[in-house]
Amino acid sequence: MNKNAKTWIAVIVVVIAAGVGLSSLFTEGGMISYVSFTEARAASGNVQVMGEILDTGSTYETETGAFTFYITDDKGDRMKVVYNGTKPGNFEQATSVVCIGNYSNDAFYAEKLLVKCPSKYQEEPVESGT
């Protein structure tokens, strides 16, 4: 095989790999956009919402494995979240949460949770030695 043929094969392989990579971002399970609570209630597929965790308490049902809690958005809209998985270990310290899933039967059914805790890496004020 000559050098030109090898170069063209390499280019074709790279183009195919890039196409497969890009297509996976825009298909189901790839990139999921953030939506408002109102948009989540109307969506037909998976979406991602972010909200502040309400202090109304959370529950975990051992029989069903359902972890339930409430979040609110910046407009004060409140939404019930049901997650069929174990309660995240740092949930009590979390201030907000990103939920990926879909809305049905008056609740958002999350497949994935990403809790957002206050940063322990925030810079603390430096005291002056005067």
| Domain match, 43 and 18 both | no
Both 72 and 48 in one domain: the answer is yes
Judge whether 124 lies within some domain.
no
CATH number at residue 65: 2.40.50.140
Asked if the structure places residue 125 within a domain, the reply is: no
128 vs 97 pLDDT, higher one:
97
Could you tell me the residue range of the domain that residue 18 belongs to? Answer: 1-31
In a shared domain, residues 13 and 42: no
Question: Looking at the structure, do residues 48 and 101 belong to the same domain, yes or no?
Answer: yes
What is the value of pTM for the model shown?
0.68
Question: Considering the domain boundaries, does residue 83 fall inside one?
Answer: yes
Q: Tell how strand 78-84 and strand 107-116 pair up.
A: parallel
Average pLDDT over residues 36-57: 91
- Residue 6: pLDDT over 70: yes
Domain identity same for 86 and 66? yes
One DSSP character per residue, 19-64 reads HHHHHHHSSTTS---B--HHHHHH-SS-EEEEEEEPTT--EEETTT
104 belongs to a structural domain: yes
What's the domain count of the chain? 2
Do both 13 and 49 map to the same domain? Answer: no
Residue 19 is predicted with a pLDDT of 67
Burial 63-80 (b: 16+ CB within 10 A, else e): eeeebbbbbbbeeeeebb
Q: Is residue 10 located within the same domain as residue 50? A: no
Does 110 lie in the same domain as 54? Answer: yes
